[in-house]
Amino acid sequence: INNMGSLLYAMGQLEINNMGQLVEAMPLLEEARALLEEALQGRRERLGDRHERTLISIFGLANLLEKHGKLVEAIPLYTEALEGKVLLRGMEDGATRHLAKRLVSRMREVGQREEAEALADKHGLADN
């Protein structure tokens, strides 16, 4: 799979991030994780930490980890994605609010209740 992704990427047919998403659909956590981490590293280097596409990669990696039961590892990535989205779009943006609500919910799931409530209060989500 890595060779196929590299070949398609070299041909300009597929970005590494997209290959990671394809592998994500299969039960190959480590392979998908490696591809998404590689895509994220490249985007950080080329675009910076707060570029929209970098934030998409951060969210994608967090989502993969969550799907594979690694929620504690996903939470810092969701947090980073939210911080970037707030800076770029503000809390008025629907996608940003959705991400904030999701993060609050996931923090509660893993027992980070105080942190979840502080985040909810900070972003006006206390009633959620």
**Domain count of the fold of the chain:** 1
- Determine contact, residues 1/28, Cβ cutoff 8 Å: yes
Global confidence as pTM: 0.78
pLDDT band at 90 (very low <50, low <70, confident <90, very high): very high
- Domain membership of residue 127 (yes or no) is no
Residue 60 covered by a domain: yes
Considering only residues 22 and 35, tell me which one the structure prediction assigns the higher pLDDT: 35
- Higher-confidence position of 93 and 23: 93
8 A C-beta contact, residue 5 and residue 36: no
Q: Which residue range(s) make up the domain with 45?
A: 2-122
Question: Can you read off the two tokens belonging to residue 28?
Answer: 């190959």
Convert the pLDDT of each residue in 28-74 to its tens digit. Answer: 777 788 888 998 999 999 999 999 999 999 999 999 899 889 999 99
- Assign residue 34 the CATH number of its domain: 1.25.40.10
Does the residue 98 lie in any domain?
A: yes
| Residue 128 within a domain | no
What pLDDT band is residue 104 in, cutting at 50, 70 and 90?
very high
Mean pLDDT of 93-119: 96
What pLDDT does 15 receive? 55
The contacts of residue 2 (CB under 8 Å, 6+ apart) are: 31, 34, 35
Residue 57 lies in a domain: yes
| Cα–Cα distance for residue pair 89/85, rounded to 1 Å | 6
Residue 102 and residue 55: Cα distance in Å, rounded? 15
pLDDT of residue 1: 42
pLDDT above 60 (res 10): no
Average pLDDT over residues 11-32: 60
